[in-house]
Amino acid sequence: MKLFTVAALALVGPVQAGLRFGCSTLTTQRLDPIVEPGMVPSAHLHHIVGGNSFNATMEGDVGARATCTTCEMSEDFSNYWTAVLYFKHPTNGSYHRVPVKNNAALAQGTTGGITVYYTQFDFNTDALERQPIKAFPPGFRMTVGNPGHDDAAAARSAVGLRYNCLQTLINRGPELADFPDKPCPAGIFAVHHFPACWDGKNLDSADHQSHMYNTMDRGGFTNAPPCPASHPVRVPQVTYETVWDTTQFNSMWPAGTPNPFVWSFTGSAYGTHADYLFGWKGDSLQRAMDTPECFYDGCGSITKQAMSAANQCKVENFVDEETDGWLTSRPGQAE
Ligand SMILES: *[C@@H]1O[C@H](CO)[C@@H](O)[C@H](O)[C@H]1NC(C)=O
Ligand SMILES: *[C@@H]1O[C@H](CO)[C@@H](O)[C@H](O)[C@H]1NC(C)=O
């Protein structure tokens, strides 16, 4: 009987602390208001979720001006984006965009999208008295990772940017620093953990990273060591999870040949990166972060919307180009 109880608990899993919610895909296009503001198109294709003020240039208080969001949290008008995964046909060299599929255990009705986390301490506790969390201010933005990184050794030590070869949507298998080297029965899972220490002054920096500091040393959802004096302000630890549905390409990957998946930029799997542009309305994120036992996708007074409503949120496609079907080159890349 005791054994049964333990097994049942293991199935339920640990309690999770912090916000976790789904955001459906908003748009897939070549814009990057953080790294290449004003450029239409930007260098490479992105998969974007969140609020409808997404545009080539985004300054000021996004949360005050957006009117809808693809996120379940209806006061969250932030934008979240990553590069897009492509399949490169092993023999004829054509490219095909890999679709995104809904993550396990999210709100019903999420289409594609990204799972977003704002963790206060670690996955199981909020520890608010020990470690209060300051929400980001309007205009805040940051990136993590770098499309130019092609150094396996450095990337292996860059905790928090990882892949999993999904056996099922729930059984993720071990974390990998490089793309999986065999077909993954349920897709390729990509995770991006952002740093949680801020200098407390700058909304951005020239490289979009040096106003932040990463103290994470053990990867995923563990509490990072204390922030340094240079970056003393503890902010929520933001994480993205994306499920790339590679299954339709598995039969085109001959056994024993190299991984055929590439990012939408020219570079390697180690160049994985993600962008965050804060846009919660008013003090809604601060209220969530001040709420103890802010578990899963429920949190104090944070308002939620049905995903059927979230999925109505749209933005214009500012870049007129083909990103789907079989292509001779990835958008914007000289192949
Ligand atoms: C996007 O930016 C353009 C150029 O600045 C502007 O005309 C347009 O209104 C913006 N669209 C949205 C939805 O913010
Ligand atoms: C490459 O193979 C795919 C899958 O069979 C096919 O649809 C595509 O047209 C091919 N590309 C070229 C350039 O032949």
pLDDT digits (tens, 9 = 90+) for 146-205: 998 887 777 666 789 999 999 998 899 999 999 999 999 999 999 999 999 999 999 999
Nearest CA to ligand 2 atom 11: 94
What average pLDDT does the structure give for the chain? 91
Do the beta carbons of residue 37 and residue 58 sit within 8 Å? Answer: yes
Of the ranges 70-74, 105-109, 220-224, 248-252, which one carries the lowest mean pLDDT score? Answer: 105-109
**What's the confidence (pLDDT) of residue 105?**
64
Is residue 206 in some structural domain? yes
**C-alpha 196: how far from its chain's center?**
15
Ligand 1 pocket residue status of 317, Cβ below 6 Å: no
Residue to probe by mutation, ligand 2, list 88, 92, 96, 251, most atoms within 8 Å of CB: 92
3-state SS assignment for residue 157: helix
Q: How many domains, in total, are found in the chain?
A: 1
Contacts of residue 80, defined as CB under 8 A and 6 or more positions apart, other chains included, come to 23, 48, 49, 50, 114, 116, 240, 274, 275, 276, 277
Is 205 part of any domain?
yes
Which residue, 55, 71, 74, 142, is CA-closest to 107?
71
Which residue is associated with the tokens 């199935």?
11
Does residue 332 form part of some domain? Answer: no
Q: Is residue 335, in this structure, part of any structural domain at all? A: no
Atom of ligand 2 nearest to the CA of 92: 1
Which residues form the domain of 246?
A: 20-310
| Euclidean distance between CA atoms 262 and 260, whole angstroms | 7
Residue located nearest, by CA, to atom 14 of ligand 1: 53
pLDDT greater than 60 at residue 12: no
Query: Residue 283 has what pLDDT?
Result: 95
Separation of CA 267 and ligand 1 centre (Å): 31
Q: Which stretch of 11-25, 96-110, 228-242, 274-288 has the lowest confidence by average pLDDT?
A: 11-25
Instruction: Determine the average pLDDT of the residues in 89-118.
Output: 91
pLDDT surpasses 70 at 222: yes
Best probe residue, ligand 1, of 55, 277, 313 (max atoms within 8 Å of C-beta): 55
pLDDT at 125: 87
In a domain, 326, yes or no: no
In 10 A of CB 108, how many CB atoms?
9
Contact 193, 308 (CB under 8 A): no
In one-letter notation, the amino acid at residue 103 is N
Q: What are phi and psi of 60, to 5 degrees?
A: 75, -155
- Those residues with Cβ within 8 angstroms of residue 51's Cβ, 6 or more apart along the chain or in another chain: 26, 62, 63, 66, 68, 69, 71, 76, 77, 78, 79, 279, 313
The span from the CA of 125 to the CA of 286, in Å, is 17
Q: Could you tell me if residue 327 is inside a domain?
A: no
pLDDT above 50: residue 9:
no
- How far is 143 from 82, CA to CA, in rounded Å? 10
Q: Which residue's CA is the closest to the ligand 1 atom numbered 9?
A: 55
Tell how far the Cα of 96 is from the centroid of ligand 2, in angstroms.
9
CB 172 within 8 A of CB 166: yes
Q: Which residue has the CA at smallest separation from atom 7 of ligand 2?
A: 326
Would the pLDDT of 290 be above 80? yes
265 secondary structure, DSSP code: S
- How confident is residue 14, by pLDDT bands cut at 50, 70 and 90? low
Work out the average pLDDT over 66-76: 97
Confidence grade of residue 214 (pLDDT, cut at 50, 70, 90):
very high
Does the beta carbon of 92 lie inside 6 Å of ligand 2?
A: yes
- Tokens for 115, please give them: 């799972």
Assigned domain for 304 exists: yes
In a domain, 298, yes or no: yes
Whole-number pLDDT of residue 58: 97
Mean pLDDT score, 269-273: 95
pLDDT at 10: 37
